[in-house]
Chains A and B, each alone.
Chain A
Amino acid sequence: MKPDDFSFLAQMVRRRSGLVLPTHKAPLIEGRLATVMRRFGFRSMSALIHELRHGRDTLARAVTEAMTTNESSFFRDRPAFDKFREVVLPQLLETRAESKRLRIWSAACAAGQEPYSIAMILDDLKLQSKGWSIDLIATDLSSEMIARAEDGVYSHYEVQRGLAIRRLVAHFTQEAGNWRIHENLRRMVSFRQFNLLDSFGWLDDLDVVFCRNVLIYFDQKTKSSVLEKIAETLQPDGVVMLGHAETPDALPNTFTSINHVPNLYRHARSPQQRLAAAG
């Protein structure tokens, strides 16, 4: 790809999604663009970029979505899920015992493995049969990923990475050589295509936000903005879970780690302190 074409593409994707496309990843990026080229019938990369320069929105959206990294697996980074089950959930079940309501957001859910892993943990506790209301919201920039997640069908390969065989037997049925997640877990999750650059106005009072392995693809300004919006949507004692290579350092003094557990954070200041600071 010509340098000025790459530069144009990088600026467009950054503006639309916050994703930073480093020049050293040009071969990977061209590979992803090739898929879009075939889908829209372009014969060359330059023809595709030419069309993008003329502002075709459908194409720009498809190109932007194709730039996302959708690598995921069930219970990816197992210690994070262990902490969710052993540290986060017990506290929330205690503090929410009266309202019996939990609101959890998986902010970059790819093909759905993360929210379904959360759903399996919640299902273990049979919370819904104990009268709990669970809002498990899952979003991703890629509408293609959201469609896959809603479908809930996974290959042999996908169900073997991170998923214990007993969970596979308990939560999936076999279908034409693949594995379909059971309807009770599928119904637990509300999927929605969503760009983290957009307003979080529809999200509020969240108890837990899983925002893992997404901030690493953003520049400092975007990281800071996303973290700020997460802070606003979180309950005062809500929890943010970041990826193993991520910290909330782009937004200083807002989050603090919980019991020094890596990647687990909550508000650094009380609601009163935050109001005073804002005022």
Chain B
Amino acid sequence: MKHCLVVDDSRVIRKVACRILEDLHFKTGEAEDGVSALAACRSKMPELILLDWNMPNMNGIEFLKTLRKERGGDHPVVVFCTTENDLAHISEALDAGANEYIMKPFDRSIIEAKLAEVGLS
């Protein structure tokens, strides 16, 4: 079973995303900011990371840039999941190594479609 780390400072969003991902046969873990997400990745690198942009301590883009420099940090598929939905943010995320991008609000069909894009459906 593939492991997905859901990184979002909203507990509600984490719960909703985890429920959808578990329904899609992922084992899930949660982190509320970039710092705790990095700690989780250093402990066990997940196959998939669903990543919010705006979070306290370390935001999504800082986390991603740091992650990609870590040993094994090029392995996880990173899908941004954020309210930042303008082209500048999307381009910045792709440049930093994001694999896909979800513009909130999302539902199961969007997560499924994006997982298909990255070959994890």
Interface residues of A (CB under 8 A from B): 73, 78, 156-157, 160-162, 164-166, 168-169, 173-174
Contact = CB atoms under 8 A, between A and B. Distances in A.
A161 B94 contact: no
A190 B85 CA distance: 30
Nearest to B102: A160
Contact of A161 (B90, B91, B110): B110
B62 interface: no
B94 A166 contact: yes
Interface in B81-102: 85-87, 90-91, 94, 98, 100-102
Interface of B: 85-87, 90-91, 94, 98, 100-103, 106, 109-110, 113-114, 116-117
Contact of A169 (B85, B91, B103, B109): B91
DSSP class of B's interface residues: helix, strand, loop or mixed?
A: helix
A169 B102 contact: no
B103 A156 contact: yes
The 6 closest A-B pairs by CB, nearest first: A165-B101, A161-B113, A160-B110, A164-B117, A156-B103, A165-B100
Contacts of A165: 90, 94, 98, 100-101, 117
Given A156-B103, A160-B102, A168 B113 contact: no
11 contacts: A73-B113, A156-B85, A160-B106, A161-B113, A164-B117, A165-B90, A165-B98, A165-B117, A169-B87, A169-B90, A173-B87
Nearest to B117: A164
A160 B91 contact: no
Contacts of B86: 174
A204 B105 CA distance: 44
A162 B112 CA distance: 9
Contacts of A174: 86-87
Contacts of B109: 161
B87 A160 contact: no
